[in-house]
Amino acid sequence: MIREGSRILLEVRGLRAVVNGIEILKGIDLTVRSGEVHAIMGTNGSGKSTFAKVLAGHSAYQVTGGSVLFEGRDLFDLSPEERARAGVFLAFQYPIEIPGVANSHFLRLAYNTVQAQRGKEELDPLEFEDFVRDKMKLLEMNPEFLDRGVNEGFSGGEKKRNEILQMALLEPRLAILDETDSGLDIDALRIVTTGVNKLSTADNAIILVTHYQRMLNYIVPDFVHVMRAGQIIKTGGKELALDLETRGYDWVGAEQPAMAGA
């Protein structure tokens, strides 16, 4: 929700990044304030997921220009774990399976690490069990997923729920959901988006990266940004997503060409 005088959480200016020597991000500008929901849309290869991973600190992407401030701090001074502890959260498009690490163990480690950083109380396994089961209800997750390996053998929908469960536990300031809707059937989409909505507050912000408008029926964005060729080429309100749904992406570029020299 857009509020007068809300704090700036994220300030991206002229961000450029390369992977394997190929420039993917070609000057991104974006400002996100607390309480806001931003949707970043665009076709495959437009750079949306790269943008998400650069914000989270993936080492395969090399930042070559621009700046990103998170709550006033230079994000690029922080390692991935420091970003997570500071309150940046990336829900992965393809969550990683880690056989041999019990999901409950992983969730508790992550939770306690972030709690310790924030000077808050850590939970022992028994306390955590109660705490996490409560959070799982939010996502209608079966507690048996605690005993399995991290994402091991989870269906696509179960993996996405597990991602949002982590968001619920870590309570990030800025949550970046990378194609969280992909691979979800309609019931799972409803459950996951309901969960995200419950986690959305006036103090945090959400960036939704998605191809499709359908998730935005459930999580209503304050801003919709269209990416193409590594830039945000158009920004509008929630109605822009509906236009994209009916008209496709082609008209956007024709109406408002990318800035010269990009």
Checking DSSP bridges between strand 73-74 and strand 22-33, what pairing results, if any? unpaired
What mask of x and - would describe binding to other proteins in positions 19 to 58, judged by CB under 8 A?
A: -------------------------------------xxx
**What is the rounded distance in angstroms from the CA atom of residue 254 to the CA atom of residue 213?**
21
- For residue 60, count other CB atoms closer than 10 A to its CB: 10
Is residue 135 part of the contact set for other proteins (CB under 8 A)?
no
Among 6, 117, 194, 235, binds other proteins (CB under 8 A): 117
Residue 62 is a binding residue for other proteins (CB under 8 A)? no
Closer CB to other proteins, residue 92 or residue 223? 92
Q: Tokens 């070609």 sit at which residue?
A: 26
CB-CB neighbours of 127 under 10 Å: 12
211 touches other proteins (CB under 8 A): no
Q: Is the C-alpha dihedral spanning 118, 121, 127, 133 positive or negative?
A: negative
Q: How far is the C-alpha of 163 from the C-alpha of 151, rounded, in Å?
A: 9
Does position 72 bind other proteins by CB under 8 A? Answer: no
Segment near other proteins (CB under 8 A), from 13-21, 90-98, 128-136, 201-209? Answer: 90-98
Position 92 contacts other proteins (CB under 8 A): yes
Host H or E run for residue 68: strand 62-70
Q: Is 108 in the site for other proteins (CB under 8 A)?
A: no
Cross-strand partners of 98: 150
Q: Is the Cβ of residue 21 or residue 100 nearer to other proteins in the bound state?
A: 100
**In the chain, helix, strand, coil percent, each to 5?**
40, 30, 35
Q: Which one of the spans 8-16, 111-119, 138-146, 207-215 is the region binding other proteins (CB under 8 A)?
A: 111-119
Binding of residue 96 to other proteins (CB under 8 A): yes
Q: Are 257 and 72 in contact (CB under 8 A)?
A: no
Footprint of other proteins (CB under 8 A):
56-60, 79-81, 83-85, 89-90, 92, 95-96, 98-101, 106, 109-110, 113-114, 117, 149, 166, 170
